[in-house]
Structure 1
């Protein structure tokens, strides 16, 4: 007999419960490639942003870098290696993750966000793994989609709760029977907590996502829920054998961050953000090949890595949602524009 669960409950158990996907010994890096794994240049860009935040804060005695959804601490480890002695003496590194770790001494670790952060909070591919409910519009109205965790089979359930219906009306209106959506309210709340953890500084969410105009136009009639295993997209089955993920409504998260106290918001692609942080992917001049072949090959390899981080149709299309608390956003992330706030 099938045990039908909402996708939110089933995904929570599959990813974070006992034996869940994110508690496995091999870790997410064995199944998909993030920007952190693609190149050390991603850590270089984060460090440059951290320096900009440090300057905006007036170089405080303690500067925090919090990595939310830190995996096995790859980003924090690289930042520790790259930070010069002047910054390292003030820098406090903190990873937020449920999995076990083997990090060097001096890097703090917790399952929950720390509070009173002064510095930079980075959430790279975190929000897409905050579990959400899936709904479908039927001739009788919106209904929850239920799933059998063992097989991935689905059926329709009850009407979603009023708060979810209100979120859908504002952020993902459904117009045709058979169309689906993921209800992003849990992600809004998670991002509001991340922004709220700042005493002063900047929070950045980096993820694949979409905007209300696309959603309302029917760009995602079946929603975006999918699975990943061993580097390949697979049918999402919430049994712990694969990642279960869905695109992020980044504009809804931006509005939640503003409600949590964000002063300024920037919403830009990773391609644009990395270009602003000096990661361009430009090939080195050919003259360097004859003048210094070793330097040319190193620069060529770096350009190749930067190209992967900024590629159209790939990592470059990720959204960067940057929001500041207590300070203006660093100039490296400008020009700024308000995030869409939806109707009403």
Structure 2
């Protein structure tokens, strides 16, 4: 998976962009970025309006999310922003000049970190319970054929016992230990501020018995053959990532859904009153378009089903989100 995504000639290393292969919240509507701009303003206030405010996008793709947040932020805030796109692919043309492009996050961050559909592409191993015990699944990178390999190493077995215990022969688990480490690395760099991971996820109480590993190419789901021709992704054990973030220094945590989070931030999907069409037709059309975009972003069967992991370091959780109960 590592080689197929990030090795020489790998899917992301050669500059493939997610929007060409699957629908993302970033490309569904600029209102998604506007919601993050509102959160950024709250973080800025909690930090006391510092002279420099970091804004880091992990797995930035084409840089669209950062560009849209910059456009949505008020001038007094945008002037103090230090936006950083973290991405293994080369900087594409058209990225606004203020955005720094790099392959590693800054060593010290004060502000907001966004990991939008990043953790699901952090490579992992798959383990299957066989009659002879758990075995790491080996895969032919050309044909995609599989066979059982050796026993998982002790660290992976410990992770499985705590977060994804296998119960019946044929059950599979996707070992999220490396994802925990990557997320903890982000929290370890966050001196003060907020980190938000947005991804499809699951909990220990309801892990999918056969896993979620899949591939995407040109808008279609395909077998996850690790030959570099497709995106390979697996849902995220956000509960284990949250625990890793707490160990790394998070002082407050919220887990919820994108639907709940964006609704709390004012994206309701409600149609404007029909009276507005008679009073101000152009305003009615604008609000109707916004309602349609909101509805897609908060659809519980679609983008609204993403999980949000929100962790703070030495600042309070944003007011609108802090009122939510985890879903």
TM-score bin, normalised by smaller chain: over 0.9
**Deviation string for 1:182-222 (max 9, x for gaps)?**
0000000000011111110000000000001102xxxx121
- d(CA) in 2 for partners of 1:142 and 1:336? 39
Is 1:91 aligned with 2:78?
A: no
Q: Secondary structure at the match of 1:22?
A: coil
Is 1:120 aligned with 2:112?
A: yes
Is 1:299 aligned with 2:287?
A: yes
**Deviation string for 1:9-59 (max 9, x for gaps)?**
xx1111111111112344222111110011001000000110111111111
Structure 2, gaps ≥5 residues long: none
Is 1:41 aligned with 2:39?
A: no
Q: Secondary structure at the match of 1:258?
A: helix
Q: CA deviation at 1:286?
A: 0.7
- d(CA) in 2 for partners of 1:329 and 1:137? 40
Q: Secondary structure at the match of 1:122?
A: strand
User: After superposition, where does 1:12-161 map in structure 2 within 5 Å?
Assistant: 12-101=2-91, 102=93, 103-161=95-153
**Deviation string for 1:212-249 (max 9, x for gaps)?**
1102xxxx121110011111111111011111000000
Contact 1:267–1:336, Cα closer than 8 Å, also in 2: no
Contact 2:260–2:324, Cα closer than 8 Å, also in 1: no
Structure 1, gaps ≥5 residues long: 1-10, 340-344
Contact 2:128–2:134, Cα closer than 8 Å, also in 1: yes
Q: Secondary structure at the match of 1:294?
A: helix
- d(CA) in 1 for partners of 2:109 and 2:204? 31
Given candidates 235, 249, 263, the residue that maps to 2:251 is 263
Q: CA deviation at 1:335?
A: 3.0
Q: Paired residue for 2:158? A: 166
Is 1:213 aligned with 2:205?
A: yes
Contact 1:130–1:187, Cα closer than 8 Å, also in 2: yes
Q: CA deviation at 1:104?
A: 2.0
CA 1:289–1:337: 2 relative to 1, 3 Å: closer
Is 1:317 aligned with 2:305?
A: yes
Normalising by the residue count of structure 2, what TM-score does the alignment of the two structures yield? 0.97
User: After superposition, where does 1:216-295 map in structure 2 within 5 Å?
Assistant: 220-295=208-283
Comparing 101-110 with 62-71, greater Cα deviation is found at 101-110
Runs of 4+ aligned structure 1 residues displaced above 4 Å come to: 336-339
- d(CA) in 2 for partners of 1:118 and 1:21? 31
**Deviation string for 1:261-281 (max 9, x for gaps)?**
000000000000001111111
Count residues with an aligned counterpart.
325
Q: CA deviation at 1:336?
A: 6.1
Q: Paired residue for 1:183? A: 175
Q: State the superposition RMSD in angstroms.
A: 1.3
Q: Paired residue for 2:192? A: 200
